[in-house]
Amino acid sequence: MNPYDILGVARDADAATIKAAYRRESSKAHPDREGGSAERMAEINQANDILSDPDKRAHYDSTGQMNKPDLEGQAMQVAVAAFMQFIELADPVAAAVEHIQAEMKKADKHANEVGFKIARLEAKVDKIKVKDGKPNVLANAINNEIESLHKQCATVDAFLDRGELALKFLRDYEMDDVRVEFTGSKADRFFFNYGGY
């Protein structure tokens, strides 16, 4: 099911175009109208839900999947991606765990730096005064920056939550010692190691 096709809009459609298409299609498909159906209405509602939400739309555009996985599903994707990144190593499970821990450490450090920056900005915002009762444009700029930094912190917190669950997922696995014996000719070993001649 493609939400763009359901609403009859192009991939680069803006919010107003999507809204108009939703209204048009839902009007035609409403179950109380002749020729309408609950199933078609549900498809239209789901398509609108995805295309009118920037995060869901970006997820669909990048993956082709209608539903974003829940936190556990996202964590499992992180764990599997890290595992596959190190699949050629002797112990890809341990390497994936180390990699995720290192990324989490960097993210935590970044969150602390952002937290200090927020505190510094919050201390300054009340000290900026404007003469003659004009709007305090500079204080507004600082408040906008503080809001942006809070969003960064929320993103990092979500990353850390996924990382913790990914580590928990990987701790349920271990790698047996794998040894490969070569018994063929040099040409056979070359083919095995490098996938061809």
What percent of the chain is modeled with pLDDT above 90? 58
State pLDDT tens for residues 81-120: 999 999 989 899 999 999 999 999 999 999 999 999 999 9
Instruction: Give the architecture-level CATH label for domain 3-63.
Output: Orthogonal Bundle (1.10)
Q: What's residue 114's pLDDT? A: 95
Contact 94, 85 (CB under 8 A): no
Tokens of 88: 């050629």
The residue ranges of every structural domain in the chain are: 3-63, 71-170
Q: Which residue type occupies 128?
A: I
Which residue from 113, 109, 118 is spatially nearest to 148, judged by alpha carbons? 118
C-alpha 59/C-alpha 91 separation (Å) is 32
- Residue 194 pLDDT class (50, 70, 90 cuts): very low
For the entire predicted model, the pTM comes to: 0.55
Q: What's residue 79's pLDDT? A: 92
End-to-end CA distance of the chain: give it in Å, rounded: 43
State pLDDT tens for residues 52-77: 988 888 888 887 877 767 788 888 88
Decide: helix, strand or coil at residue 196: coil
C-alpha 6/C-alpha 72 separation (Å) is 29
Which residue from 89, 13, 94 is spatially nearest to 47, judged by alpha carbons? 13
